Structure 1
Amino acid sequence: MVSKRPRIPTCTYRLQFNRWFTFAQARQIVAYLDALGVSDIYASPYFQASPESLHGYDITDHNKLNTAIGSRADYDAWIAQLQAHDIGQVLDFVPNHVGIADNRNAWWMDVLENGPSSRYAPYFDIEWQPLKTDLCNKVLLPILGDQYGCVLERGELQVRFEEGTFCVRYGERELPIAPGTYRHILEVALKNLAEYKDDDFYAELQSILTALEYLPKRTEADPKRIAERAREKEIIKRRLERRCAEAPQVQHAIEKALAQINGNPGDPRSFDKLDELLNAQSYRLAFWRVAAEEINYRRFFDVNDLAAIRVELPKVFDTVHHLLLEFVSTGAVTGLRIDHPDGLYLPREYFVKLQQRSAKAQGIGLPGDGRAIYMVAEKILTG
């Protein structure tokens, strides 16, 4: 297999992508940058992140472009313009962590819903058996602006129901409710339907409750049982959604149950059922100030909303780099700046593997010096 030398930038120009500076706008200045003598664009992260993110380092999905910046067609048009001017692209890539403040992070939402049995639980560094026993099989979420009891009794935590699924909302945050704990709500709803005991929809709701009892637990380690849980919980959600659509009485009974469970500010005891429901989840809500002492997932430094991922695992590496290596294969990305490699478990091994995979993506042999693509590392110096 033929090997070739990587493109080496001689003059880079940083482009900071966000909703205020898009792929379409970047395309418009390519000729200008070429006239300045720029050899390569140095692009900020542009994979899916929070729509409000101005920096892009809080990636929620490495295999999607940030829709706030533009579509794939917009991206391809920008790349075509760069290539027409023989300008390369060094991409700022973030392999160490993901943003978890946004519910578009499917991996993190799945972990919060399913705990240790989530198919994505191994992707994160979570201590499921910490010294604090009340965090056993739970993730600490230090997202509250005050002590948990104060937030609870002010009515700031509210359970909502939509399309067969329950979630809890706190401000702009939306957190999943574990399907196995839906019974806390549906048992109340069933009591609200007492006058309809002879109707089919009453029996159907009883059947759904029975299915929830047989759902594999969130602590399952057997892959077959984990797969069964992932399948059955979605079937239960669809059954519940369909029953609400076909029998408005069920929808009304659930809404009434939520009004009872969500409590009334000024009446502390009215929040007991909500407290019981929240304590049954795979996460424990907490005041943000307790993070330093109790956090049980690895973060980017001490940033609670950036959770580290285990990119040293082959499956995680492959998933995180899939779209990136596609861009390398087409020549859209000609260089890489790796963000915070100090946070990786095996940084040297990571760089070696990424060079090898970059060579494979380009269809070339790995050069003797191991450098298939221009690659630089961020290094934070302190002291």
Structure 2
Amino acid sequence: MTPRATYRFQFHKDFTFADAEALVPYLDTLGISHVYASPITTARAGSTHGYDVVDPTRINPELGGEDAFRSLAAALRQRGMGIIVDIVPNHMGVAGGDNAWWNDVLAKGEASEFARFFDIDWREPMVLPILGEPLAAAIDSGALAVEEVDGRCVVTAYGEHRLPIRDEDQALALGADLHTLLNRQHYRLASWRVANDELNWRRFFTINDLAGLRVEDPAVFDAAHDLILGLYRDGLIDGVRVDHVDGLTDPAGYCRMLRARLDAIRPGAYFVIEKILARGEPLAADWGVDGTSGYDFMAEVAGLLHAPEGAEPLAALWAEISGRPAEFAPEELRARQDMLAWQFDAQLRGCVAAFVALARSRPELDGITQGMIHRAIERLLWVFPVYRTYGTGDAAPAADAAIRAEARARVQPFVPPGEGPVVDRILDWLAGDGPGDAADAVRRFQQLSAP
């Protein structure tokens, strides 16, 4: 059933499926065809938004659980209405100890069956930037302790976080020196201030409580989508809205896979994505989606509601109180530079390292230094004209060519003398035309380019 008009419900423990069901007659009188539901899978306890999913295999009991959801769906069906649900394939909530997959990784490290589910650099222990002070100070202040919970020893932090302890350390954990015990774990506790520089796993933008999920792995895709596909199979939902699709390794491949899985059950699912399109940027026609969730439409509406003559006095006021230019472009550039150098430094260095390894694997690229690659990537990211491109390392869609050309023109004023060929090489790799296996390097660039 294609939606005619949707009404979004933000579910949480104080607004449940039962509360929504009571409003179904009212929605019907408005002409609404579908409830658009915020994420319904189990989120962190007490979540008011649901995008910090901790268990995508179960409907959130705080919202009423599966029985209440089925009751809501039945009430809607009786009136010829349906449900579109929001799903979150890009990340999971990992704070507070509610996420069993994440906890298993903390306890077992790379040996965990769920280690492949997350983007983690295993060359060092996982950095957990949850402390309000350096580790030694947190131990001295008593903020950290070892407690026994349900027959197992865990590390507690500030009475809020519960962190698993390795099986090998369980027997002696209660009497162990805390600093020594922590040094033996698969994770490293650290101050929140180190996250931007030292985090070694992908997060959602700068939010340390949300860890990136690797749905490009078929096993991870299945685990993250079995519940939603089951709801569609049972006729309880008519489609999905996918949150932050551009955070994924391969958004196009993901969308095609999800469409295929939905169509294998029953063709006709309504499938839209959260996609931020730049002015004039088209939505790819071969992803198998029915459109975006509407940010581009909202931008057009906002343009109608704002008087353009108001821009000049606002710009003059900004220049007067800030001492900065009245034009937007210098502010955008400075913001991009600051954010990249500060809050995304660890991600930038990881991206640079991937391209450096790629360059050093090819004898013909001798002479391209790490510094040159860093400057080329950094400056391209300062001026990148769209949210991201969609190369796979060995190929790229035709639509990306114009974006790369515009990026090359924009970056030229910032390129140091003699380093233009390095910029060109990076763009060649994004196009799928460079030497070597560029998949990881291209992935890292494209997951970092969001303005």
Q: TM-score, normalised by structure 1?
A: 0.70
Q: Is the 8 A contact 1:157 1:169 kept in 2?
A: yes
Count of matched residue pairs: 278
Alpha-carbon deviations, 1:120-173, whole Å to 9, x = none?
0011110011xxxxxx2x100000011111111011100012343110101211
Higher relative contact order (CA 8 A, sep 6+): 1
Among residues 60, 64, 85, which one is paired with 2:79 in the alignment? 85
| 1:60 positional shift | 0.4
Matched, 1:9 2:3: yes
Report how far residue 33 of structure 1 moved. Answer: 0.3
Partner of 2:316: none
Q: Given the alignment, which residue of 304, 308, 324 partners 2:212? A: 308
AA matched with 1:99: G
The within-5 A match list for 1:38-49 is 38-49=32-43
Gaps of 5+ in 1: 1-6, 130-135, 186-257, 262-272, 365-371
Matches within 5 A, 1:267-282: 273-282=177-186
Q: SS at 1:56's partner residue?
A: coil
1:121-200 matches, cutoff 5 A: 121-129=115-123, 136=124, 138-171=125-158, 172-185=160-173
Code of the aligned partner of 2:105:
V
| 2:276 is equivalent to residue 380 of structure 1 | yes
Output the CA distance in 1 between the equivalents of 2:6 and 2:152.
48
**Counterparts of 2:150 and 2:241 in 1: how far apart (Å)?**
42
Q: Does 1:332 align with 2:236?
A: yes
State the shift of 1:380 in Å.
Answer: 3.3
* Aligned counterparts, 1:100-115, within 5 A: 100-115=94-109
Asked whether the 8 Å contact 1:326–1:361 carries over to 2, the reply is no
Cα distance in 2 for partners of 1:10, 1:59 equals 29
Contact 2:45–2:98 at 8 Å: present in 1 too? no
Q: In structure 2, what is the equivalent of residue 94 of structure 1?
A: 88
Q: What percentage of residue pairs aligned between the two structures are identical?
A: 44
Residue aligning to 2:338: none
Which residue of 15, 18, 21 corresponds with 1:24?
18
2: CA distance between counterparts of 1:46 and 1:335?
13
CA distance in 2, matches of 1:344, 1:360: 23
Q: Which residue of 1 aligns with 2:221?
A: 317
| 1:184 CA displacement | 4.0
The code of the aligned residue for 1:374 comes to Y
Contact 1:51–1:66, Cα closer than 8 Å, also in 2: no
Instruction: Give the counterpart letter for 1:324 in structure 2.
Output: I
